[in-house]
């Protein structure tokens, strides 16, 4: 694969994108998991699919030529994230209901636009399960800008995000502007989901945000460690998944998630054996 | 003595249900107030109004000389909520990380966590006798230990006023007395003004300097020893609620 990466730009772009989302998805995923919002990625990824299908439909109509389906996916994802945050405010006692509402609207719109475009074709297949050859140079630039934005915001607002995730009431009393930060966070999530879809696909993007975090939580002793281990697990899964997907000719979404699941399973087993050994000793 | 908080004519409703009616009182600097009342008497609501977590419907609240609507908390007031001990026990954070949350308004990336802040965190942990648990996961600690960590988080930023909403919920009875002693120390040694919300009058009267009985409106505000000398009947009339003092033996 190394030869191919060196010789083919599109594979190189995919590999770089993989490394970026392997960092961003678990980074945001840690905050998402501890805030018990794991399903938000599923909701937003299906809204992104609606945007992608809309883009494909528009391409077929030869309109919106400046915007690719990737761009319309990002736009829909951001709109979806704002809708979710507003719905969470409306249904304060049942905040989780915001996710199935957005998810079902996303799927509904996707079905309509896919049918209006060409039905299920190779493009849609790549968006659903990921692809090793889907990232153009302009996509890569957009993903790089997303990465710079997300990492900068996390560095600047780490303390606020951490305090809000743990105890929103205390954070608000301390003078943290919870509403602004919630919106900023969910928009970042929308951007990272749209970026990750090129590699892992709509159906598996939430796995890249939650499986590495679930694994890290079993071994980390602090919040910072959880973030670092999540990123390490995420990167290992992306690298092994992309390489194996390339050689086995399987969409990388599947191989990345299977690798993440193997890492999770083996970590759980090793931890169990380790604890049994300690207690025995 | 300066008033840190002045509540004047506050009435509050949830839908049609009136929870507070014409409540007025003031909190003097350096005092240790016991805010008591039966369940549903509006204790948590008045706290939320004083903290700006609920919008005022009628009346005024003045905090540190400013109307609550214009007050921006920069570490003057800190809070230990009833919910603090119902956080997700699996949350992957150490006790030290939890305490560091109290410094959020001070720490920024341009002023990274310096040695001074590390020192403040350890000083707060030491103050609540939890230094040796600094690197323990918060979920692995007992209810009483967790509440001490939340106190450390609340005092790390050196607040002038600390409000605690039923902080002993989930704390073992044998640790409750120690917990109140810790609060008395914070009041006397650090000069922090305290408002302790509780439905347990019996225990707190021995520690607080002022007692504020609330049941929709203020029924008593004054010295706890005067309150203790009253008969149960007098208190029930005052309180607007049938009540008997429970004596705790420690």
Interval A29-73: pLDDT, tens: 999 999 888 889 999 999 999 999 999 888 888 776 678 888 999
Residue A217 with chain B: CB contacts under 8 Å:
90, 92
Task: Tell if the CB–CB gap between B94 and A223 is shorter than 8 Å.
Answer: yes
State phi, psi for A52 to the nearest 5 degrees.
-65, -45
Chain-chain contact of A162 with B101 (C-beta, under 8 angstroms): yes
Sorting pLDDT into bands at 50, 70 and 90, what band is B248?
very low
How many whole angstroms separate alpha carbon A114 and alpha carbon B118? Answer: 56
Q: Which residue of B has its CA nearest to A36?
A: B88
- Please indicate whether, in this complex, the C-beta atoms of B94 and A170 are within 8 angstroms of each other: no
How many C-alpha atoms does A12 have within 13 Å on its Cβ side?
9
Instruction: Give yes or no for B203 touching A (CB within 8 A).
Output: no
Q: Tell which of B80, B88, B92 to mutate to test the A interface (max A CBs under 10 Å).
A: B92
How many A/B residue pairs have CB atoms within 8 Å?
Answer: 87
**pLDDT at position B106, please?**
67
Of B79, B103, B137, the CB nearest to A173: B79
Closest residue on chain A to B153 (Cα): A170
Select the more confidently predicted residue: A74 or B248.
A74
Decide: residue B94, CB within 10 A, 0-12 exposed, 13-18 middle, 19+ buried.
buried
Q: Please report residues of B whose CB lies closer than 8 A to that of A158.
A: 109
Tens-digit pLDDT profile for residues B225-240: 777 777 676 666 656 5
- Flag if B153 and A170 touch (Cβ within 8 Å): yes
Q: Which tokens go with B220?
A: 């008593």
Chain B 41-100, CB below 8 Å of chain A: which residues?
Answer: 51-53, 72-75, 77-79, 81, 83-84, 87-88, 90-94, 96-98, 100
pLDDT recorded at residue B247? 47
Q: What is the pLDDT of residue B85?
A: 57
The mean pLDDT value for B16-43 works out to 88
The candidate with the shortest Cα–Cα distance to A142, out of A191, A184, A180, is: A191
Instruction: Give mean pLDDT, residues B83-107.
Output: 81
Q: Is residue B194 within 8 Å of B187, Cβ to Cβ?
A: yes
What pLDDT score does B131 carry?
94
Residues of chain A under the 70 pLDDT cut: 1-2, 5-6, 64-65, 281
pLDDT at residue B244, rounded to an integer: 52
pLDDT digits (tens, 9 = 90+) for B195-226: 999 877 777 788 888 888 888 888 877 777 77
By the 8 A CB rule, do B103 and B157 touch? yes
User: B87: alpha, beta or left, given left = phi > 0 and alpha = psi -120 to 50?
Assistant: beta
ipTM of the complex in this document: 0.85
- The partner residue sitting opposite A156, judged by closest CB among B74, B91, B109, is B109
Q: In 10 A of CB A209, how many CB atoms?
A: 33
- Please determine, for residue B250, whether its predicted confidence score (pLDDT) is greater than 50: no
Residues from A in contact with B at Cβ < 8 Å: 34, 36, 155-156, 158-160, 162-163, 166-167, 169-176, 217, 220-226
Distance between A34 CA and the closest CA of chain B, angstroms: 6
Place of tokens 């965190």: B121
């Amino acid at each position: 694969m190394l030869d191919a990466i060196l010789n083919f730009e599109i594979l190189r772009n995919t590999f770089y994108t993989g490394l970026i989302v392997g960092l961003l998805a678990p980074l945001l995923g840690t905050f998402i998991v501890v805030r018990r919002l794991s399903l938000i990625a599923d909701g937003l990824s299906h809204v992104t699919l609606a945007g992608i299908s809309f883009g494909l439909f528009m391409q077929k109509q030869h309109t919106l030529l400046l915007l690719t389906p990737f761009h319309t996916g990002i736009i829909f994802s951001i709109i979806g994230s704002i809708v979710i945050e507003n719905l969470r405010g409306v249904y304060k006692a049942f905040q989780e209901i915001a996710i199935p509402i957005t998810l079902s609207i996303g799927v509904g719109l996707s079905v309509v636009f896919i049918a209006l475009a060409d039905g299920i074709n190779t493009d849609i297949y790549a968006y659903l399960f990921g692809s090793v050859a889907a990232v153009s140079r302009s996509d890569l630039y957009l993903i790089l800008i997303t990465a710079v934005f997300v990492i900068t915001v996390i560095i600047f607002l780490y303390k606020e995000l951490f305090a809000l995730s743990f105890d929103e009431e205390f954070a608000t009393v301390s003078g943290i502007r919870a509403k602004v930060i919630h919106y900023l966070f969910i928009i970042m999530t929308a951007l990272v989901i749209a970026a990750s879809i090129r590699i892992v696909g709509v159906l598996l993007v939430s796995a890249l945000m939650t499986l590495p975090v679930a694994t890290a939580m079993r071994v980390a002793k602090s919040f910072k460690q959880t973030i670092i281990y999540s990123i390490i697990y995420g990167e290992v899964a992306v690298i092994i998944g992309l390489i194996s997907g390339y050689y086995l000719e399987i969409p990388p979404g599947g191989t990345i998630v299977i690798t993440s699941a193997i890492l999770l399973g083996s970590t759980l087993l090793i931890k169990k054996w380790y604890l049994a050994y300690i207690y025995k000793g | 003595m300066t008033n840190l908080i002045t509540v004047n004519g506050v009435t509050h409703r949830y839908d049609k249900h009136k929870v507070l009616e014409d409540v007025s009182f003031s909190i003097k600097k350096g005092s240790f107030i016991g805010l008591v009342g039966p369940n549903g008497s509006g204790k948590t609501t008045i706290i939320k109004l004083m903290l700006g977590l609920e919008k005022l419907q009628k009346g005024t609240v003045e905090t540190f000389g400013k109307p609550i609507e214009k007050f921006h908390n920069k570490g003057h007031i800190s809070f230990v909520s009833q919910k603090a001990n119902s956080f997700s026990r699996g949350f992957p954070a150490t006790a030290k990380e939890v305490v560091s949350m109290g410094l959020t308004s001070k720490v920024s990336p341009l002023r990274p966590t310096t040695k001074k802040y590390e020192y403040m965190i350890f000083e707060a942990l030491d103050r609540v006798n939890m230094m040796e648990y600094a690197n323990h996961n918060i979920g692995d600690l007992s209810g009483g230990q967790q509440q001490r960590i939340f106190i450390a988080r609340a005092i790390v930023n050196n607040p002038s006023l600390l409000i605690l909403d039923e902080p002993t919920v989930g704390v073992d009875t044998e640790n409750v007395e120690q917990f109140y002693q810790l609060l008395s120390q914070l009041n006397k040694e650090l000069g922090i003004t305290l408002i302790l919300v509780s439905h347990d009058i019996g225990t707190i009267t021995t520690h607080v300097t002022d007692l504020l009985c609330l049941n929709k409106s203020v029924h008593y505000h004054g010295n706890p020893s005067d309150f203790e000398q009253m008969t149960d009947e007098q208190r029930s009339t005052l309180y607007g609620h049938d009540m008997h003092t429970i004596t705790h033996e420690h």
